[in-house]
Amino acid sequence: MDFELTAEQQMLKDLCRDFARKEIAPYADEWFDAEYFPTEIFHQLADLQLMGLLIPEEYGGTGAGTMAMVAALEELGKVDQSIATTLQAHLTIGSLPFLHFGTEEQKHKWLTPLARGERLGAFGLTEPQAGSDAANIQTTSRLEGDSWVVNGTKCFISNAGTPLSYGLVALTADSAGGNGKRAYRAIIIPKDTPGYTVGQPYKKIGWHTVDTREQVFENVRVPRENLLGEDGSGFRAFLKTLECGRISVATLGLSLAEACLNMSLRYAQERKTFGKPLASHQAIQFKLADMATQVDMARLMVYRAAGLRDQGRPYAKEAAMAKLASSEIAVKAAEEAVQIHGGYGYTRDFPVSRFYLDSKILTIGEGTSEVQRMVIARQLGC
Ligand SMILES: Cc1cc2nc3c(=O)[nH]c(=O)nc-3n(C[C@H](O)[C@H](O)[C@H](O)COP(=O)(O)OP(=O)(O)OC[C@H]3O[C@@H](n4cnc5c(N)ncnc54)[C@H](O)[C@@H]3O)c2cc1C
């Protein structure tokens, strides 16, 4: 399989690297510490046509594809994981349900503003009692006249509470009872619908500038045409959407590990102990060698999954493997990077501490490591 980027993909990667260096890097720590969501950056990303990379031109995107998305996210994620996270959630789980399951009318109405970057996409699956056990959602929808009436609570939902948010697509079911045979429905819920409350942002360990909040629905009424996909197909649609989401989260892991390697290498060449640079001590060299090897492993796995998707070939197993491996590589790389920086790495004066704080979520969000193993085992026929 060919992992070389095309000239266009390379240009996009270079563009993202320059943008991240100039427009994000100088402010990333300040935004993180202030827990500030930089809306202006997403206007700029929209101007650069980065908000619809997976969406065809007819619906406002560029149709650049998965390899291009991975290349772009890799550069942004090396500088600021929160910005890259917000963008990846928008590009994949926030937008793809409309592309894959929407009618023409729904695509023009909801997807085009997302792909143009006028709006930010959000995906409402998780509930207080249902994360890994996603089929156990309790949010209900029932048809009353020409409206769906939605009741329930979603938790940990990213991108639904920003000035750019339109609302979210929520997974609901026809009854609140258990994991039995229920009709699951994906329903579009616009913000400002009466009865829909967006909670306060969570206080998180990392991802401080990612907008993550609870969403509460109390007799929320939306028009019948806000059903996305067939009645009863919502659960399958959500699981299908997560397959591509795994590639983009895996890219966050790759970029985080790469950033940690780069910072550690630089620091190890500058900092001296026992009369010589840290990088001259074999114990530190081995850490750096392991980090570099693991970054390469993550890159190969992420680009393989992206390449398979672009070729229209099955990629569910490879995406889950890439997400599992690259998130765990990122956690380890962040830990080693702080270790190499010593006491300075433990202070917020060095960005390596931000990457350390941002790393842990990668083994949890969009399916924990355990869930990825379940997906892989299922694909193996277990
Ligand atoms: C910052 C952040 C952003 C998020 N953004 C979104 C979003 O935009 N949209 C959305 O829908 N969700 C979002 N989530 C939710 C996230 O996807 C869930 O937190 C995740 O899927 C895990 O679910 P849970 O928290 O309920 O943990 P649980 O499912 O309760 O799991 C707890 C632990 O038990 C393990 N476990 C559970 N079942 C098994 C089993 N059968 N075998 C072995 N181990 C098991 C899990 O792997 C985990 O380690 C976000 C979460 C965070 C923290």
Task: State pLDDT tens for residues 271-291.
Answer: 999 999 999 999 999 999 999
Number of domains in the chain: 3
Q: How much distance in Å is there from the Cα of 369 to the middle of ligand 1?
A: 10
Which residue among 90, 115, 140 closes a domain?
A: 115
Q: Are residues 265 and 226 in the same domain?
A: no
User: First vs last Cα of the chain: how many Å apart?
Assistant: 27
Candidates 81, 126, 184, 238: which one to mutate for ligand 1, based on the most atoms within 8 Å of Cβ? 126
Which amino acids are annotated catalytic?
A: 366
Three-state SS string over 194-206 comes to CCEEEEEECCCCC
Q: Are residues 258 and 356 in the same domain?
A: yes
Q: Are residues 60 and 176 in the same domain?
A: no
Q: How much distance in Å is there from the Cα of 207 to the middle of ligand 1?
A: 16
| 64-71 mean pLDDT | 98
Q: How many helices (H) and strands (E) does the chain have?
A: 13, 10
Confidence check: pLDDT of 176 > 90: no
Give residue 185's domain range: 123-231
pLDDT band at 179 (very low <50, low <70, confident <90, very high): low
Q: What local confidence, expressed as pLDDT, does residue 181 receive? A: 79
Q: Are residues 311 and 267 in the same domain?
A: yes
| 135-151 mean pLDDT | 97
Confirm whether 216 is domain-assigned: yes
φ/ψ of 277, rounded to 5, equals: -60, 150
Residue with tokens 């085009």: 112
Spatial distance between the Cα atoms of 139 and 141, rounded to a whole number of angstroms: 7
Confidence check: pLDDT of 175 > 90: no
- Residues 327-354: pLDDT tens digits? 999 999 999 999 999 999 999 999 999 9
| 151-176 mean pLDDT | 96
Q: How far is CA 140 from the centre of its chain?
A: 26
DSSP code string of 304-354: HHHHHHHTT---HHHHHHHHHHHHHHHHHHHHHHHHHHHHHHTSTTSTHHH
Q: Is the CB of 44 under 6 A from ligand 1?
A: no
Q: Are residues 336 and 261 in the same domain?
A: yes
Confidence check: pLDDT of 1 > 90: no
Q: Are residues 240 and 338 in the same domain?
A: yes
Confirm whether 2 is domain-assigned: no
Q: Are residues 187 and 54 in the same domain?
A: no
pLDDT band at 180 (very low <50, low <70, confident <90, very high): low
